[in-house]
Structure 1
Amino acid sequence: MALAAAAAFTMTGPATTASAINKVTCNPGAGYLKIWSHMNGRDSVDCYANRGKTNFGNWWVDKISTGNNDVKYYDANGDVVKINRGKTISYPNRPPKVKAIEIL
C-alpha cells in the first residue's frame, strides 16, 4: 500500500507546484519578468513569475525586463514577439499595445 501511494505521489508531484503565471512583488535581483507600462494617464510597473499566459489589458508597454524568463507578448496588431531571458528592451517612441504576456 505504501509503495502504491509513493508511486502516485511521484507521478503527480506535490500539490504546491506552480502551474500558472502570477503577478508578484517586484524584488530586485529576483529574476522576475518586469514590465513598465501606461494607459489613460496611469503608469504601472508589474512583475510576474511562473510559466503561463495572462491577459495584459491592452496597456502600452514602455519597457520589458525578462529576468530569468523566456517571454512572449501578444500585441493588439496580432503580432507575437518572443524575447529571450536576460534581455531588457525599451520602447521610447513607439510602445506596443499588449493584449497578453506569456512566460515560457
Structure 2
Amino acid sequence: MISHAKRVARSVTVAFAAAAAFTMTVPSGNAFAIDHVQCRGGENFLKIWSHSGGRQSVDCYANRGKTSFGGWWVDKISTGNNDLIYYDANGDSVKIERWREITFPNRPPKVNAIEIL
C-alpha cells in the first residue's frame, strides 16, 4: 500500500513538473503591448498630433496593442507602418490603413483609445 501511494505521489509530481516546464517554454498567444515611444525622424511609428484644455501634444506609438488616449482632440494622424483603429467619444471606431496621413482641420475627433493592429 505504501509503494502504491509513493508511485501516485511521484506521478503527480512528475505531471506537475512537466506542466510547469511546458508553461514556461511555450509562448503565450498574443501578448503584445503598445508602447508610447519617443518621436524620431526617419522612424515609421504611429504619430498623433492632439490638443486638450489649451495644451498641445505630439505622441508616437509602436507595437501592437490598445491604450487609452484620454479623450484628447486629434488634429492629425500619420500611421507610418501601422494599421490603426481609434475609438472616439461618440462610440465609433475608425480604421486607418498604414502609410496614411490624415488631418482634421474643422472637426477633430475626441479620441478615447487607440489600437495598433
TM-score, structure 2 normalization:
0.75
Q: Is 1:21 equivalent to 2:3 in the alignment?
A: no
Identity level (%): 69
The CA deviation at 1:53 is 0.2
The CA deviation at 1:27 is 1.0
Which residue is equivalent to 1:66?
79
- Where is the strand percentage greater, Structure 1 or Structure 2? 1
Contiguous gaps of at least 5 residues in structure 1: none
Aligned to 1:89, the other structure's residue is in SS state: strand
Q: Deviations over 1:25-47 (max 9, x none)?
A: 00112110000000010000000
Q: Which has the larger radius of gyration?
A: 2
Contiguous gaps of at least 5 residues in structure 2: 1-20
Which residue is equivalent to 2:88?
75
1:31-46 → structure 2 map (5 Å cutoff): 31-46=44-59
The CA deviation at 1:71 is 0.2
More relative contact order, 1 or 2 (CA 8 Å, 6+ apart) = 1
- Where is the helix percentage greater, Structure 1 or Structure 2? 2
The CA deviation at 1:12 is 2.1
Aligned residue pairs, count: 94
Which residue is equivalent to 2:66?
53
**Counterparts of 1:53 and 1:30, CA distance in 2:** 20
**Counterparts of 2:27 and 2:64, CA distance in 1:** 18
Please give the root-mean-square deviation of Cα atoms over the aligned residues, in Å: 1.7
1:2-17 → structure 2 map (5 Å cutoff): 9=25, 11-12=26-27
Q: Is 1:101 equivalent to 2:78 in the alignment?
A: no
- 4+ residue runs over 2 A deviation: none
